[in-house]
Chains A and B, each alone.
Chain A
Amino acid sequence: MADSHDNSLIESAARAYDAGQSDLNSERMILNMGPQHPSTHGVLRLVLELDGEEIVDAHPDIGYLHRGDEKIAENMTYTQFIPYTDRLDYLAPLANNVAYAYAVEKLCNIQVPPRCQYIRVISCELARISSHLLGLGAFGMDTGAMTIFLYTFQEREKIYDLCECLTGARFTTSYTRIGGLAHDMPPEFLPLLRKFIAEFPKTLEEVNKLLTRNKIFLDRTREVGVLSKKDALDLGVTGPILRASGVDYDVRKAHPYGGYENFDFEVPLGTVGDAYDRYLVRMEEMRQSLSILQQAVERLPEGSIYAPESRFILPPKEQVLTRMEQLINHFMQVTTGIPAPVGSVYFGAENPKGELGFYIISKGGGSPHRLKIRGPSFVNLQAVPVMAKGHLISDMVAILASLDFVMGECDR
């Protein structure tokens, strides 16, 4: 896999390793990178051990954005926690909303109707494109291609407009509800989405032309931060990083949820597992997401967006005002939360950054006993020391950009 490494790199890595073995520790320098650094994309701090400009070891230091989301979740109802999920991977809030809703619905054994599933698929794929666009723009900028950032941010702006139209908020969407959505999609949304689907491939193609065969970009990313298949599995990384290392695991294909089994799409895989492969995988994922969006728009079913289980869904307002039992139902759901059964479930969703999992332990009642969030960035960042060893500091920037992590879901 990584046989075609540049020989000089291997030599320097060996030298760096030898230096670490001997007593010549004085040759090493400690460099503190972050938590305030433009290429650590948030508040990641890295303590690098250097031999000259080569990285001998890297120690990621996380926790600067720790807000105690899991503790907060134990102290509020399931519905109240939805806005907190916006702030996990804050570059793809819609996808987090959807993953959380499906997790609680799995616990309560609720099946949402097809129209709700389709709107959720549209939300997820929009979030994926938006997240990858930011990742890509930052990747370009970190490796010296400033223009990409401007191209991708223009498209992201359109996705934000779509989010605003769909949910009423550009950033903190909080769109899903347990057993449904906050509200159905407005009539203006579909034409806007169609317009986006028609226009987006042009920009993607422009980015493709600017980067994919760009000599500087290739030099900065090929054979950089190689993660072998074995290491990737051992380190538990998921998402585009795992697939760039050649492991065919996409939750949407392996365990289709929310109607993903009805969509026709490919899962791109890498062969080398370097930063360039991760870039290629994300580029292809955006094309696939676009195809999923297209299919969803064409086949969007009519009907209700709420599951039929009335004990879990807030009743319509006019019924609350006219019917006693619905008034009680509404009152109980708002004050004590939904009547969740006793049990524990894990639900993993394929988010832009990897598998976002919610592990809910319920002892009954309206709030979870334990809600563990398996943030993909938390797990993926563990791979940094393995990827960085033997590379230069400037490669570190490319490696971090290719990981495309978000500290919100890493520190929770």
Chain B
Amino acid sequence: MTLYEILPQLYQKFSGQIPEASEFRGEYTCTVPATLIKTVCSYLKESFAFDLLLDLSGVDNYGQEPRFSVDYLLYSISHKIHLRLICLLPEENPEIDSVTSVWATANWHEREAWDMYGIRFLDHPNLKRILMWEGYPYHPLRKDFPLAGLPADLPDTAVDAGKVNESPMHGGPFITSTGSPHSHAREPRQHHTLAELIIKQKKSQKTEQD
């Protein structure tokens, strides 16, 4: 099966909603309305064996409206066909359905697009930042973010990956309680920052002096 057979069926299935694909260097690109992306993806996967989502990337066309786009690169191993889908998203509140239920691999790709461009993926199982840290205030691949970067606070070092926020063993048996304030103060889970640790130490020194 070739793209010449697949594309007409795709147009017919979503009558009039998908404009004709454009071609460049032998690659075909379809612009798909953002509301349809999940339906189109599962249709393509079920009907034409597009079993691999090779790539998903956000794009910022700063100065244009719609500003953002999400580009999907689908691949069918059995037919050896690439197909790119593009969804255009507005500058205000860019949102699109997640395709993680179609291909699990979309999970990290979508997190990256959220992290780098601030594109929100609806129904995503775990839409958190992936390359930058949680709590970072900017989306650095946006065109209005300077190359040199902007100052931001460093993250707290507590365990916060995945759905793990706080250890169930918090305050548990691994904390030494020998009575010495020093060994107790060394335990990181008791103090979130070094500053707090120093303040606490100073306080205890003061009380000793008193």
Contacts and interface: CB of A to CB of B under 8 A. Distances in A.
B24 A25 contact: no
A28 interface: yes
A61 interface: yes
B197 interface: no
Nearest to A68: B140
B44 interface: no
A265 B130 CA distance: 38
A233 B55 CA distance: 13
Contacts of A45: 161
B132 A346 contact: no
Given A247-B77, A361-B59, A370-B59, A71 B108 contact: no
A374 B164 contact: no
Contact of B25 (A63, A249, A345, A361): A345
Contacts of B116: 70
Interface in B56-84: 57, 59-61, 71, 73, 77, 80, 82, 84
B169 interface: yes
Interface in A311-365: 343-346, 348, 355, 357, 359, 361
B105 A236 contact: yes
A236 B52 CA distance: 6
A125 interface: no
Contacts of A379: 105, 108-109
Given A359-B57, A379-B108, A345 B131 contact: no
B105 A234 contact: yes
Contacts of B77: 233, 247-249, 254
B1 interface: no
Interface in A103-129: 106-107, 109
Contacts of A63: 129-133
Interface string B153-164: 000000101111
Contacts of A62: 130-131
B107 interface: yes
Contact of B104 (A357, A374, A382): A382
A231 B84 CA distance: 23
A411 B169 contact: no
Interface string A227-245: 0000101111100000000
Contacts of A1: none
Contacts of B25: 106-107, 109, 343, 345
Nearest to A370: B59
Interface in A233-280: 233-237, 247-249, 254-255
B158 to A, nearest CB: 10
Nearest to A374: B55
B53 interface: yes
Contacts of A57: 162
Contact of A61 (B73, B132, B162): B162
A32 interface: yes
Contacts of B60: 370
B131 A346 contact: no
A355 B104 contact: no
A411 B133 CA distance: 12
A370 B57 contact: yes
A32 B159 contact: yes
Contacts of A378: 108
A236 B103 contact: yes
> Which 5 A-B pairs rank lowest in CB-CB distance, beginning with the nearest?
A59-B162, A236-B105, A61-B161, A372-B57, A63-B131
Given A62-B130, A63-B132, 11 more contacts: A30-B159, A30-B169, A62-B131, A70-B141, A236-B52, A236-B105, A254-B77, A357-B73, A359-B71, A369-B59, A382-B107
24 contacts: A29-B169, A32-B159, A45-B161, A59-B164, A61-B161, A62-B131, A63-B130, A70-B116, A71-B140, A235-B105, A236-B52, A236-B105, A249-B52, A254-B80, A344-B29, A344-B71, A346-B84, A355-B54, A357-B54, A359-B71, A370-B60, A378-B108, A382-B104, A382-B108
Interface of A: 25-26, 28-30, 32, 45, 47, 49, 57, 59-63, 66, 68, 70-72, 75, 106-107, 109, 231, 233-237, 247-249, 254-255, 343-346, 348, 355, 357, 359, 361, 369-370, 372, 374, 378-379, 382, 411-412
